[in-house]
Amino acid sequence: MKSTCSESLLTIPRFDQIPFLIHGFGTAAWTEDCLKSDPAFEGFRWVIMRQTHSDIIHTIEDVPIKVLEGDALITASTRIGLVVKTADCLPVLLLSESWGVVAAVHCGWKGTGKHIIQKTIMKLEDDLGCNPSSLLAAMGPCIGPDCYEVGEDVLRFFNESGLSLNVFRKHPERPDKHFLDLKKANRQQMLEAGVSEEKIFFTGNCTHCDTNLLSYRRDRDVSGHMYKRMYNFIGIKLT
């Protein structure tokens, strides 16, 4: 019988086919204890950042002594699990089978506006020689384009950052508000960075609509600042 933890993990079929890889997008029932107790991940050490909605990216060879601050992690080392936590923001997992490198990226509207996914792809190439065309990308659950209401400040930020505004849709009833499509915005950045369209995969419903997922916008009035987050991860097994 599967454990509650196992049943609460979303994966990408293409990634499941890779024997040296572990990965997953956690749901509301998937906890840090699940991550650390699942026998499938025995021997892994986990890197969990203090996320700051930045464009700070860390390339690591070993688990750092201190908690890192930033929003993206890269490694070519085995048995190191890279984790990003989300509760409406978009988690993106990157992998190059040929180069044997992985990355985990936290893409909220601020990170997206700062080009964090593009910068992570550039850093993969600069630090580890990984060609962007070799990358596979997996986008996990996030708040959907019909629920992610943002203000004029977000649209201006994207415009000033040189990003396409076709990821926004005017709110039909509130002239000062827009709906933002996070997945579309990050997909466009990945395509511009050299990731092939057929190598970009998606999973998960809208976090705001699906009660099996966690949503800061939906739940914050109940849980305040101590809202829970979903754990999303990727790592390389020993080969």
pLDDT, tens digit, 9 for 90 and up, residues 137-176 = 999 999 999 999 999 999 999 999 999 999 999 999 998 9
**Widest distance between CA atoms in the chain:** 55
* Alpha-carbon gap, residue 20 to 76, rounded angstroms: 12
- Mean pLDDT for the stretch of residues 212-222: 84
Give which of 12, 18, 98, 92 is closest to 57, Cα–Cα. Answer: 92
Domain residues for 126? Answer: 4-143+182-236
Amino acid 88: pLDDT = 96
Amino acid 111: pLDDT = 98
Question: Do the domain assignments include residue 169?
Answer: no
- Mean pLDDT for the stretch of residues 45-51: 97
Question: Do the domain assignments include residue 149?
Answer: no
Confidence tier at 1 by pLDDT (50, 70, 90)? very low
The residue assigned the tokens 């609509």 is 209
DSSP at 68: P
- Mean pLDDT for the stretch of residues 175-200: 97
- Mean pLDDT for the stretch of residues 219-224: 62
Amino acid 204: pLDDT = 79
| pTM score, whole prediction | 0.95
Question: Do the domain assignments include residue 154?
Answer: no
Count of domains observed in the chain: 1
Amino acid 8: pLDDT = 79
For residue 33, what is the domain's CATH number?
A: 3.60.140.10
Handedness of CA 189, 193, 196, 202 (dihedral sign): negative
pLDDT mean across residues, the chain: 93
Question: Do the domain assignments include residue 171?
Answer: no
Q: Indicate if the pLDDT at residue 212 is higher than 90.
A: yes
